[in-house]
Amino acid sequence: MGLFDKLFGEFVDIIEWIDDTSDTMVYRFERYGNEIKYGAKLTVREGQAAVFVNEGEVADVLGPGMYELETRNLPVLSTVLNWDHGFSSPFKAEVYFVNTKRFVDLKWGTKNPLMLRDAEFGAARVRAFGTYGVRVTDPLVFIREIVGTDGNFQVDEISDQLRNLITSRFSSAVGAAGIPVLDMAANYEQLGDVIGKRIGPEFGEYGLELTKLLVENISVPPSVEEALDKRTSAGMVGNLDKYMTYQTGVALEAGATNSSGAAGAGIGMGAGLAMGHQMANSMGQPQGQPQQGNQHWHNDGRRVDANPASAKSLPPPLPGGKRYHVAVDGEASGPYSLEGLQQQLGNGSITPKSLVWTSGMEDWVEASEVADLSGLFRAPPPLPRG
């Protein structure tokens, strides 16, 4: 800097800071040799505070307004420099402008999942993230404890420390609250308020105020999410019979659009059998049952005459016994008890190769391959010879 700049800096002095950033918390006003003229003009705008530092010690703090730097405006600095005894030459001091506006939309979040004890899921891991806002309320404390001699202090220089503080207190608060995982979404606002009140004094130790803390999301691991989705889907199904009818219609439509190939044929056959069974139940008529003379067959395998007066039937099956559907001529019939299957076998309606299905089986299989039905097709032992 030349001689003209030095002289101009001593005799013409206007001190101000226009913030053209969005993340500067503290800015040190640069002067040649830190020399400030007695009677210089100082402008402190709304959202700012000016801090004077003399020989490493904080002297005075001025709020928003326009000042002429003299004895009555800088009482501490005047005492140090003996201005009350007529001292009016330029003086050396550092001027720090502190941004007192709110810094918002700062991010926080858990680096690792939090282990919680949940009443419904047992041990559960959750992650959480959100935003918070902060502002400087005590410039002296903030400069002494955090800024030091940093002439251009940015918010990201302290955001990591603040984020770690929030995360630590959030873990303790959630663990002690005992809120079920499924109910946390309804308590985001409450959790934010509790954590904000808990860590507010700790922010105050830095000369800061936590203006707002928001919990935006608390999530569980993907495996738990899948389990919750399945539970939700099962609850939305409601009537299982109606759902199966709908699924059968979807399978029929898919088979119609892709009828070529073994896969298409298998889908079509399975859907056809299921649809036949659904139609039979809805119409109240058994499907695929052989009719001989004036006799017909109930779904449980009982044979009765057409004339109710002469109806003869076997006793009903024991409760809890398995009942099987049988594929006859491409249609599903039944369900039959073991006694009913035995009568069907006696009149030739089914064979060991007939396809059968019961609840719990994934697909239709031949009757001879079902362990419970193997006794129906076993040949009787030969009679003893005399």
pLDDT tens-place string over residues 59-73: 888 999 998 887 666
CB 109, CB 129: distance < 8 Å: yes
CB 192 within 8 A of CB 130: yes
Clarify whether residues 110 and 195 are in a common domain: yes
- The verdict on 260 and 215 lying in the same domain is no
Confidence of residue 205 (pLDDT cuts 50, 70, 90): very high
CA angle, corner 166, sides to 164 and 172, nearest 5?
Answer: 105
Query: What pLDDT score was predicted for residue 383?
Result: 62
Q: Which of the given ranges, 5-19, 35-49, 79-93, 217-231, has the highest pLDDT on average?
A: 35-49
Confirm whether 164 is domain-assigned: yes
Of 83-92, 123-132, 152-161, give the lowest mean pLDDT range. 83-92
Region of 364 on the Ramachandran plot (φ > 0 left; ψ -120 to 50 alpha; else beta): beta
- What is residue 309's predicted lDDT score, i.e. its pLDDT? 44
Mean pLDDT on 133-137: 95
**How far, in whole angstroms, is CA 15 from its chain's centroid?**
51
Number of domain units in the chain = 4
Q: Which residue has the higher pLDDT, 288 or 343?
A: 343
Q: How does the average pLDDT of the chain come out, rounded?
A: 75
173 pLDDT more than 90: no
The span from the CA of 184 to the CA of 128, in Å, is 11
Are 302 and 280 members of one domain? no
User: Do 141 and 86 share a structural domain?
Assistant: no
What mean pLDDT is predicted for residues 335-343?
81
Q: Same structural domain for residues 108 and 216?
A: yes
Between 64 and 356, residue with greater pLDDT? 64
Q: What band does 87 get if pLDDT is binned at 50, 70 and 90?
A: low
- Predicted structure pTM score: 0.54
Is residue 231 domain-resident? no
Confirm whether 229 is domain-assigned: no
Is residue 84 classed exposed, middle or buried when 0-12, 13-18 and 19+ CB atoms within 10 A define those classes? Answer: exposed
Q: Are residues 82 and 160 both part of a single domain?
A: no
pLDDT in tens, 290-312: 444 444 444 444 444 444 444 44
228 domain residue, yes or no: no
Q: What is the pLDDT of residue 135?
A: 95
What strand order describes the sheet that includes 65-68? 14-15, 41-44, 65-68
- Domain co-membership, 138 together with 68: no
What pLDDT shows up at residue 136?
96
132 shares its domain with 202: yes
Q: 97: pLDDT confidence band, cut at 50, 70 and 90? A: very high
Q: How confident is the model at residue 85 (pLDDT cuts 50, 70, 90)?
A: very low
Residues 123 and 201 in one domain: yes
* DSSP H or E segment with residue 242: helix 240-257
Q: Is the pLDDT of residue 49 over 90?
A: yes
Q: Which of 78, 99, 120 is the last residue of a domain?
A: 99
pLDDT for 36 equals 80
Kindly state whether residue 230 falls inside one of the protein's structural domains: no
% of residues, the chain, pLDDT over 90? 20
Asked if pLDDT for residue 233 goes beyond 80, the answer is no
> What domain range includes position 372?
286-380
Clarify whether residues 114 and 196 are in a common domain: yes
Among 190, 221, 252, give the residue marking a domain's end: 221
Q: What is the CATH number of the domain that holds 213?
A: 3.30.479.30
Residue 112 confidence (pLDDT): 83
Together in a domain, 259 and 328:
no
242-294 per-position pLDDT tens digit: 667 767 777 777 766 665 555 555 555 555 555 555 555 655 544 444 444 44
- Is 232 a member of any domain? no
* Most confident among 75-84, 149-158, 279-288, 348-357 (mean pLDDT): 149-158
> Is the domain of 322 the same as that of 351?
yes
- pLDDT band of residue 235 (cuts 50, 70, 90) is low
Question: How many H-runs (helices) and E-runs (strands) does the chain carry?
Answer: 9, 20
Tell me the C-alpha distance between 342 and 124, whole Å: 53
Distance CA 223, CA 225 (A): 5
pLDDT tens-digit map of 1-11: 455 555 444 45
- What pLDDT is stored for residue 16 in this prediction? 92
Tell me how long the chain is.
Answer: 386
Say if 385 falls within a structural domain. Answer: no
Phi and psi of 372, rounded to 5°? -70, -20
Is residue 359, in this structure, part of any structural domain at all?
yes
- Per-residue pLDDT for 88 more than 80? no
Per DSSP, the residues of 195-232 read: HHHHHHHHHHTTTEEEEEEEEEEEE--HHHHHHHHHHH
Query: Above 50 in pLDDT, residue 114?
Result: yes
